[in-house]
Amino acid sequence: MTAATTIAEFVAKNRWEECPPAAIDTARRAILDTLGVMLAGSTEPAARLVHAVALREGGTPLATIVGTGHRSGTIWAALANGTAAHAHDFDDTNFALMGHPSAPVLAAALAAGELALATGQEVVHAFLMGFEVSVTVAGAINPAHYERGWHATSSIGTLGAAAAAARSLRLDPDQTRVALAVAASQASGLKENFGTMTKPFHAGHAAQSGVLAALLAREGWTAAAAALDGPQGYLNVLGAGPVEWPALDTLGAPWKITTSGVAVKPYPSCACTHSIIDQTLELRREHAIEPDAVSEVVVGVTPPVPRILIHPRPRTGLEAKFSGEFCAAAALRDGAVGLATFEDARVQDPALRGLAERVRLEVDPSIPAAQETHMWTRVTIRLQDGRALSLGPREVPGHPSNPLTLGALRDKFMQCARLVMPEERADAVRQMVEALDDCPDLRSVTAVLGP
């Protein structure tokens, strides 16, 4: 049995009753968080540009473009919503995936779910399928895949999106296998594009590719049975050499959403900046540090981080999201990091840029470099009076081992949703999403996701 066949059998045949309550609860929280950042991201330039193209080219208006009040063709809505979900880089991450699992998977599940007249439960189930597939594949080819320059949110997320779309469309195992095989040929996404509009496009492209693959499979498309694990298949081409598949034995046993889990972001920037931000904020708060008193900030990081935070002197807000130097300076100067931190005008602030010049990143071999710890840092602030204040490596807020409270998650959703809708409607949407698996018609939720 090929890898695609094994995955397809799992995706098509898994029953809702087999999903443990902990997995369903975590999925609900991830969907709430992702829908919130999708709403906020719908106002960003990258999302607006995709939206404009979708309205011109998108065909029959069957699916909702979240946050806009418009509908478009199914694959275009998936592209627009996936791009919006990742536009602020505020969407969740997973350390095994080394990327963002929920944005492409939810965008695909929503678009395909609207087309199929799905229930809320079917969409939650589809989301779980897509998450499980993405993280399982990641377990077979990461970290080598990511370190070669692939942006796993897209290159692996495309398979997760195909699984979610196939489940939402109620495809049988053979159709689902074809969808996965087609998606394998669409997998792409390069880390060199970090700090540009193309990075959020990666999440949208993964969602669009997954939905298109599922729609083609539904129509009778053909694809190679060994497209994943053949000699010239996905795993061997996108991995770092021949890949064994013991990981397939773990599909749903245990569920990855409850093991490697979901890391919800408290800050709208690359996850590798979060430890930098969090430690800098704590040092500033506990020692009442004034920026003028700082002579230097030294940030110890693991070896992968300099290849991710590739903009030491950012020129735009998007680049600043991938700048450890800027994020440390913003935390030190403002005492908070939020959506406004990454506006282009803020990045050009001379005082902030001058402070960033005093921040230096260096590889610290004492920091554990395992996948689950590769984003940990050690922040040392050296003061003009000769003191050196430091915090050592630890998990960041929002990590599965240090999760945001439900109250904090709700606050984040409301902060994001209020950018496009009134407070009362935002709260009504929140309540609907928290009970999504009880919803008899997904369209009753998507109908209220406009401004």
Domain co-membership, 101 together with 205:
yes
Q: Which two tokens stand for residue 258?
A: 């409850």
Q: Which domain CATH number covers 115?
A: 1.10.4100.10
What predicted TM-score, i.e. pTM, was given to this entire model?
0.94
176 and 139 in a common domain: yes
Total number of domains in the chain = 2
pLDDT tens digits along 435-451? 999 999 999 999 999 88
Same domain, 227 and 296: no
39 and 110 belong to one structural domain: yes
433 and 382: one domain?
A: no
390-398 contacts, C-beta under 8 A, 24 or more apart: 390/283, 391/279, 391/282, 391/283, 393/275, 393/300, 393/367, 393/368, 394/275, 396/263, 396/266, 396/271, 396/274, 396/275, 396/278, 397/266, 397/274, 397/278, 398/263, 398/264, 398/265, 398/266, 398/274
- What range defines the domain where residue 90 resides? 3-266+421-446
Would 413 be classed as within a structural domain?
A: no
Q: Do residue 53 and residue 143 come from a single domain? A: yes
Tens-digit pLDDT profile for residues 161-211 = 999 999 999 999 999 999 999 999 999 999 999 999 999 999 999 999 999
Angle between helices 406-417 and 21-41 (to 10 degrees): 30
408 part of a folded domain: no
pLDDT at 151 (0 to 100): 97
What local confidence, expressed as pLDDT, does residue 245 receive? 61
Residue 159 domain-assigned (yes or no) = yes
Can you give the pLDDT at residue 246?
59
Compute mean pLDDT per 10 residues along the chain, 451 residues long, and list them. Answer: 94 97 97 98 97 93 96 98 98 96 98 98 98 94 93 98 98 98 98 97 98 98 95 89 67 93 96 96 96 96 94 96 97 95 94 96 91 89 96 89 93 97 96 96 95 85
Q: Classify residue 163: in a domain, yes or no.
A: yes
CB 173 within 8 A of CB 5: yes
**What pLDDT sits at residue 435?**
96
Task: CATH number of the domain at 275, please.
Answer: 3.30.1330.120
Residue 403 falls inside a structural domain: no
* Residue 59 is assigned to a structural domain of this protein: yes
Looking at the structure, tell me whether residues 18 and 160 fall in a common domain: yes
Residues 258 and 158 in one domain: yes
Q: Are 94 and 123 in the same domain?
A: yes
One-letter amino acid of 164:
A
